[in-house]
């Protein structure tokens, strides 16, 4: 890719604009966001927990031996199981902690969707197909501007005026909170001006020398009990997501969350995400690839990625019939790496946690605080 800057510029330019592959009024088929009627996930009771420890080392990738067939063959959870998994812990900036038990409901006016060995981890598949995003014209424009860096080393995505979606393992290892989580910060890339001022009239004197991070403290975090419980029963990767609420609005355009459609309905069968891979320090790295397999909770793919990209929002761009426009939505969270036994032959995949109807209802309620605003995903 290094030898084709023109091709890279063209690709990035297409990503930044909203011109669809066909005219919105064309008779050609367009990949369309499904209309979901969603269940409701509501808090039932909240109680205080003892102050947590912050001793876990940050793991910038997670792994699991339970592959697609393992997940597909697992018994379906009961209603009580799901309620337990969707219950959640909230950690506040002052170090206090609560647990909230939830109830799951289906409103009569709308039905909830039902689901139709130690090895060296390798997360680059053949030729490295990642793109480092350079230049403020790209980095500060949507959708790349929605990617942020966590002070624990992971990536997150802006999903509301004060909220960031990331992977649970970026702040909690399943047993306790990661070091630094009590003073967790979120970093936003911005130009670092050579003359130190943004208000200069002379455009050449205000050209950015490089990019830097501006940090905002986190007010509170939500982690589902399915992740905390998961390390004991091998379903943890299914619930590897967390929501961070910032202490003040970030004032950037954000990307909405959406329910993950089946892989066969994704445009070209592909997903996209951008993250701060550790092997390219200071760079935002974009990639896209085909989905190879899926379960109800996970997407298996071979997008090139390295530690640090964990927590990136996985998104697609589809036609929004109601508004008659193209729209990108976050449909998953990049979690980590997995060796899978495929008919006796080990294969490695990168894994993203799908936003299912129940997870959408939960995350949306965390953001909005009102289930009536979370009825369509």
Q: Which residues belong to the active site?
A: 169, 234, 310
Please report which residue ranges of the chain form alpha helices under DSSP H.
5-16, 68-73, 79-86, 136-139, 225-230, 357-368
Q: Say if residue 202 is exposed, middle or buried (CB neighbours under 10 Å; 0-12, 13-18, 19+).
A: exposed
Q: Say if residue 19 is exposed, middle or buried (CB neighbours under 10 Å; 0-12, 13-18, 19+).
A: exposed
Question: Contact 112/38 with Cβ under 8 angstroms?
Answer: yes
Residues facing residue 338 across a β-bridge: 64, 349
Cα 375 to chain centroid distance, Å, stands at 21
Q: Say if residue 364 is exposed, middle or buried (CB neighbours under 10 Å; 0-12, 13-18, 19+).
A: buried
Question: Contact 86/358 with Cβ under 8 angstroms?
Answer: yes
Q: State the Cα–Cα distance between residues 276 and 18, nearest whole angstrom.
A: 25
Tokens for 212, please give them: 């830097």
Q: How far is CA 17 from CA 6, 24, 71, 123, 142, in A?
A: 17, 14, 38, 30, 9
């Amino acid at each position: 890719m290094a030898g084709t800057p023109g091709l890279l510029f063209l690709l990035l330019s297409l990503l930044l604009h909203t011109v669809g592959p066909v005219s919105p009024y064309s008779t050609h088929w367009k990949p369309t966001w499904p209309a979901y009627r969603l269940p409701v996930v509501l808090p039932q009771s909240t109680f205080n927990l003892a102050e947590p420890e912050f001793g876990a080392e940050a793991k910038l990738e997670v792994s699991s031996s339970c592959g697609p067939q393992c997940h597909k063959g697992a018994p379906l959870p009961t209603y009580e199981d799901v309620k337990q998994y969707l219950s959640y812990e909230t950690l506040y900036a002052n170090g206090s902690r609560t647990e909230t038990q939830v109830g799951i409901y289906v409103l009569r006016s709308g039905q909830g969707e039902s689901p139709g060995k130690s090895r060296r981890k390798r997360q680059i598949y053949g030729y490295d197909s990642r793109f480092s995003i350079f230049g403020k014209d790209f980095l500060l424009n949507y959708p790349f501007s929605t990617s942020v860096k966590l002070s624990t080393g992971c990536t997150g995505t802006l999903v509301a005026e004060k909220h960031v979606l990331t992977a649970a393992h970026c702040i909690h290892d399943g047993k306790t909170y990661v070091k630094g989580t009590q003073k967790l910060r979120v970093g936003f890339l911005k130009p670092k001006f050579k003359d130190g001022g943004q208000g200069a009239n002379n455009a050449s004197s205000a050209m950015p020398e490089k990019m830097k991070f501006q940090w905002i403290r986190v007010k509170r975090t939500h982690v589902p009990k399915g992740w905390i419980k998961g390390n004991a029963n091998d379903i943890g990767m299914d619930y590897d997501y967390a929501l961070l609420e910032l202490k003040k609005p970030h004032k950037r355009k954000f990307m909405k969350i959406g329910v993950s459609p089946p892989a066969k309905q994704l445009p070209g069968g592909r997903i996209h995400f951008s993250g701060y891979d550790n092997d390219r320090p200071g760079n935002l790295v974009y990639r896209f690839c085909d989905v190879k397999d899926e379960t109800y909770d996970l997407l298996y793919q071979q997008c090139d990625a390295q530690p640090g990209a964990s927590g990136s929002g996985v998104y697609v761009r589809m036609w929004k019939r109601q508004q008659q426009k193209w729209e990108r939505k976050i449909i998953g969270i990049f979690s980590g790496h997995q060796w899978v036994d495929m008919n006796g032959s080990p294969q490695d995949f990168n894994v993203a946690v799908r936003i299912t109807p129940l997870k959408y209802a939960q995350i949306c309620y965390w953001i909005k605080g009102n289930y009536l605003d979370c009825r369509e995903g």
